[in-house]
Each structure stands twice: as structure tokens, then as C-alpha cells.
Structure 1
Amino acid sequence: MAGFHVTIFYNPPFLLSLMLLVLFLPNLHITDAQVGVCNGQSGNNLPSDQEVVQLYKSNGIRRMRMYGPNPKALQALRGSNIELVLDVPNNDIQRLANDAAAASKWVKDNVLSYYPGVKFRIIAVGNEVHPDTPLAQYVLLAMSKIYDAIASAGLKDQIKVSTATYSALVSNSYPPTRGSFEGASRSFMGPIINFLKNTNNPLLFNIYPYFSHIDDPQKVPLSYALFTASRVVVQDNQFQYRNLFDALLDAAYSAVEKAGGPNVEIVVSESGWPSAGGPAASVENAGTYYKNLINHVKGGSPKRPGRAIETYLFAMFDENTKPGKPSEQHFGLFTPNKQPKYQLNFN
């Protein structure tokens, strides 16, 4: 230890480098934190909440999305420094929309009771609510009441409020600059975009190149979906697209701009690729997608270059009770016994 002190004392350039490194570390942390992972819990063989939090920490994953308040999981997150996106489940939306007291109690029970030990980042009021469903009329009302409850607690600048939507609501998404909300989607999303603009909140958006590829593999080549295309696939005015993720994201940005929210940021609240259970679903393809996505989102999209894209990978584990097509059960980055399926560097 004595030799260490002597070296620093007599080597000013080394000392300066050390000081600069210390000053730069917080910026490294901010960059590292851009990629989070969704913590889906539709399985009967998943690790305990404490084990899950430890797995996030040991892999350097600093952000989590959770699809509803789970007291045990929230308790396990205390003191972890993992930033949380917490959903208001769809089946709670109508009740909270119609009752400000119920919304205040939801915030008190599921947010304030754990804050600041749990680092809440965003409350997502609903996930993929379709505008043609009866539930759609209640989403903005519930968002507003949750926002008011958070603001009343003095936390509106610390905890954002949004909703998570998805690519199917964007019309005319090819080329991306034509993206827009039309018909029922416009009636649904327009007021939501206005709310987000006025309250300085982001829009959450789920993006899955996988489904676009398998729906039309001729027009959407696998390489375009996996970030491995060797050339520009779509030329859209001054914008060039070599991957579908950027094209879907920028189509969403175009739609949001046309709906009156040119400064509303988009958070990619889900994106993933299955390792089994469907066409093009393999460990090789999924590993390629996740690795390339993690590297890609650091640099932004053609419409928003140089601005890291806050992105949440779907999902932490394979979920053996998740309904839907067989592929839905194979989106995990880890198996339920906590073994990684891919060699990913979240840092």
C-alpha cells in the first residue's frame, strides 16, 4: 500500500487520469442503464423474488419492468438500486379511472409504501390496450388519476406516468416517415399523446421485429429483422434503414409527431425473440437478436441519432404457463434454473 501512495505522489499524469476516471464513472453508469429486462412471472417454476433480484444485480441489469404490483418482488427490490417500470394491470384500469380515491390508494399501496427504497422510474397504465375494446375509453382517465396521485406526493418529476402500446396501432408504417395513427387508433392515441406532451412524460412502445418477419418473410428478410443486413434495405428520404427495429421505432415517432407530440420521447418497453416454438425461433437467432439489439440502442435511430434508446428486453425467463402460441413461452434470456441461454453483456 505504501508503494501505491508513492507512485501516485510522484506521477501527476497518473493522478490526473485517475481523477478523470472517477469523474467519468457516473456517466458510464447512465449509459449502462439504458437496457433493462422485463420480469414476466407467468410460470410455475420460476426462482424466488430474492433470487431474481440477485440475478439482475449479478448480470449488471439495472432496470426492470414488472407487469403488476407483487409485494414480495417489490420488497426484494428494496435497496437494490434497480430502476423499475411498474404496470397498472389492464384489469385495474376501469376501476382506477372511475375513482380518484382508488387511484390514490393504488399509488399509496404499491409505490409510496416502497419509495424511496425501490427506485420507481415509470408507472405504465395498461399494456397493449387495443382502441377497439371497451377498455380503451378508460386508459387516459386512469393515467390522469395516477399522475395526480403521484404529483400530490411531490414525485411527478421523479416518477413518470405512461401507457404501453404497440406497432399494430401505427398505420402506413412503410416507409417510416409515413407512420400515423388513423381511425380508432387516432381517437385513442391522440389525447394520450397530448397528455404526455403536457406532462413531459414518455410513450412506452413494444417493438417485435420477430412477428413482422414471420408474418411476411418475403418482404421482411430475416437479416433485416436480426440487424445483420449488409446493405440499406429501406431508403426513406434522407433516412436509411438497415434493420427493422429502427424502422418500426421511427414509424412510431412519425405517428407521435403527427398526433401533436414532436418532443414526446419513446421508451421501448418490450422487444425480444423466441428461442423455440415457432418459425425462425431458435437459440442462434434469438442470441443474435438480443446481442445486436443491446449494442444498437446505444446510438439511437435515424430520426433520433445519437440519443440512446431506453429499451427493455423481453423477458428474463422462459414462462411455461404463458398463454398464446408456443413461442410465447420461449422468450427468456435465462432458463427458470437461472442458467443463461445466451452470452450477453448488459454493460
Structure 2
Amino acid sequence: MKAPRHLFLSLLFIFFSPTPTAAKEIGICYGQVANNLPSPAEVVHLLKTNGISKIRLFNTEPTILQSLSGTGIDLMIGVPNEILPSLDNPDSAAGWLQTNILSIISADQIKYIAVGNEIFLKDQYYTPYLVPALRNLYEVLQTLHLQDKIKLSSPQAASVLSTSFPPSLGAFDSYLLPEMRQLLQFLQETQAPFMANIYPFFTYANNPRYVSLEYALGGSGPPEQDSGLEYNSLFDAAVDAFVAAMEREGFAGIPVTVTETGWPTAGNDAAGLDKAMAYNGNIIRQTVNGVGTPKRPGVGLEVFLFGLFDENQKGGEEYEQHFGIFSVNGVKAYNISFV
């Protein structure tokens, strides 16, 4: 007898729904848009000395991959946006993956390959290439029996949401929906996370009259009420807005990995050492304790802080150069623990 459709959908929801997970180790982004950074070997020493066992790389710089090889540090490795058009078939994807990653570092150290970064809004030229590149790389990983070890996804800016407040009304920009649905379908099929770059700093800096500093930092300010849930953290609200947006499109249960978040120490009135220490400290405690968010309590959230060092060659606003948790000589910019 054919099972009722509603039963099938219920089972599918259970299969893909996140279940409570153990606490996560915090990850850190290792950006390199600077001309004064320590050597890769010095960076590895810094990571190990501070108990940092998970980092995000934005490209496949071979000297950095070589230095990380054999260290036991887990990696998220980025595929630059401009590479995507060349990954137009499984053979080209296999060649690129072998040459730029697998010939340099063991697959055992690779947790994620982040295919592109904020393509849907920042680099729309590459949008048509994203999901085909993901599928071609996935086919290669299947051939190598690595599809369960290495997950593929693509970090998106928080601005892909047209509505993010209150979190329960989270919705993707309708202009992006055709491509977004293709991405979500891929993530659901491959049981990979949705990757989001989330910066409460930007929201607070642009709206200080309407967003309290305590709420932006994730402190103990008066909670915001939404559909029976309480939020005292703009970060939590942003994550749950993504969850609601995915549910709205019929993709409940896809986990969220926050691939960038942080607070600058200088370059803006809203920046500062004390604020960066408070914000990043709150994020670390939430992550390592497996707190989750109001919509997904107890579901450990994976987070990568931005970033290791100030990057003195980044363009844009002055604060873009001041997200470093460490100075280039390896000293912490402020007192913070990663465990």
C-alpha cells in the first residue's frame, strides 16, 4: 500500500531536522589581505598555542596549506568566486580539486569547501555558475568516497534576507529566490549546512538609535519577544531569521554554520577593544557550551570568528582593517579565551 504523502513529508522533516548536538569548538577566519602578516609557520604555532583547532581559509594559497598539513587543524577552504566558471564539468572540477587542495593536504583535515563567498549579492556575475560548480565538485567527492567527510556549501551575506525582523518573518529576497532554492535543494540533498556571514556590528553601527548596544553585543538587555520566543541577542535573531527563511521555502532542518562574525576594535564610533572582547566572548561561550538559539535550543551552532589579524590592505570603510583578534606579533588584542 502506498504511504500517505503527509506521512512521507513528516518522515522527511524528522530525517533532516537538527537534533541536539554537543558543544562546538570555535573556528577563526584566517584572512590574508595584508602585507605585514606573520609567516604561515608562525601562524600555525599561534593557532596551536591558543588551542585553536579549526580555521577558515578564503583561498588555496599552497604555502599556507603546506604549513597546515599534518597539524590536525580542521579546515574550511574557500574556492574564490572567479574560479567558479572553470568548474563547469566534473573533469575540470576534479583537476582543480586535486591540483589545488588534495595534492597538498590530506582530506582528513578538510571539513568544508566553501564554494564562492557572498556571490548572490556581491558578485552576481558568478551566480549562474554556483550550483553547477557545487554539483560538479560533489560528483568528484562521491568518486573519491569523500562526500560524507567533506561538505560543500557557499557562504551568503545576511543581506540576502529581505526580512530579518522579527526572526519568525525571515524571508529571502524574492529576486534571489530561483537561485537560492537551487542552493537549498543541493544542501538538503547532500546534508550540508547553510553558510551565513552575520555581523550585528553593521546593524548597530548603522542604527544606533534603534538597536541597543547590549542587544547587538548579545548582553543582558531587555529581551525581544517573537512568537513565544525571547531574544536578547541580535546574533541569535539573525541566525533564526535564516532558519525561518529556509522553512518558508520548504527546507526545514538544514543546519546553519556561521562562516564569519566579529566586531572591529577601531575605525568607527561603534568599534572598540571592549566591545570586540564582549561580543566575541559571548559568541565563544555560546558556541563551546552548545547553547543553540531560541528557535533551535541545544543544537550546537558552528561559528567562525573574523578574524585572526587586522588586514591593512582591505578596502572599504576604515573599520574593515581592524577585526583582528591577534596583533601580527601574536599578542592578543584583548583578553579572550577560545575554550
Q: Which TM-score applies when normalising by structure 1?
A: 0.88
Structure 1 match to 2:130? 139
Determine helix, strand or coil for the equivalent of 2:323.
coil
- 8 Å Cα contact 1:65/1:312 also seen in 2: yes
- 8 Å Cα contact 2:56/2:76 also seen in 1: yes
**2: CA distance between counterparts of 1:319 and 1:170?**
28
Structure 2 match to 1:217? 208
Structure 1 match to 2:69? 78
- 8 Å Cα contact 1:34/1:309 also seen in 2: no
Moved more, 208-217 or 115-124: 115-124
Structure 2 match to 1:308? 300
User: Which residue of the other structure, out of 92, 102, 109, is the alignment partner of 2:99?
Assistant: 109
Determine helix, strand or coil for the equivalent of 1:301.
coil
Determine helix, strand or coil for the equivalent of 1:110.
helix
Q: Identity of aligned pairs, percent?
A: 38
Q: How does 1:120-135 map to 2 (within 5 A)?
A: 120-131=110-121, 133-135=124-126
**Higher CA-based Rg:** 1
Structure 1 match to 2:312? 320
- 8 Å Cα contact 1:78/1:118 also seen in 2: no
Structure 2 match to 1:196? 187
TM-superposed CA distance for 1:116, in Å, is 2.7
- 8 Å Cα contact 2:306/2:323 also seen in 1: yes
**2: CA distance between counterparts of 1:117 and 1:252?**
30
Bigger relative CO (Cα 8 Å, ≥ 6 apart): 2
- 8 Å Cα contact 1:127/1:163 also seen in 2: yes
- 8 Å Cα contact 2:58/2:77 also seen in 1: yes
Moved more, 296-305 or 205-214: 296-305
Give the 4+ runs in structure 1 shifted more than 3 A: 30-33
Give the aligned residue type for 2:293. S
- 8 Å Cα contact 2:23/2:300 also seen in 1: no
**1: CA distance between counterparts of 2:110 and 2:316?**
30
Q: How does 1:247-266 map to 2 (within 5 A)?
A: 247-266=237-256
TM-superposed CA distance for 1:143, in Å, is 0.9
Q: Which TM-score applies when normalising by structure 2?
A: 0.90
The gaps in structure 1 that reach 5 residues or longer are 1-29
- 8 Å Cα contact 1:33/1:62 also seen in 2: no
TM-superposed CA distance for 1:101, in Å, is 2.1
Q: Provide the aligned C-alpha RMSD in A.
A: 1.5
Structure 1 match to 2:148? 157
TM-superposed CA distance for 1:335, in Å, is 0.9
TM-superposed CA distance for 1:188, in Å, is 2.0
**2: CA distance between counterparts of 1:32 and 1:247?**
20
Number of aligned positions between the proteins: 316
Structure 2 match to 1:229? 220
Give the aligned residue type for 1:221. S
TM-superposition CA deviations, 1:108-155 (whole Å, max 9, x none): 123321343760000010101125822111111111111111111110
**2: CA distance between counterparts of 1:101 and 1:86?**
20
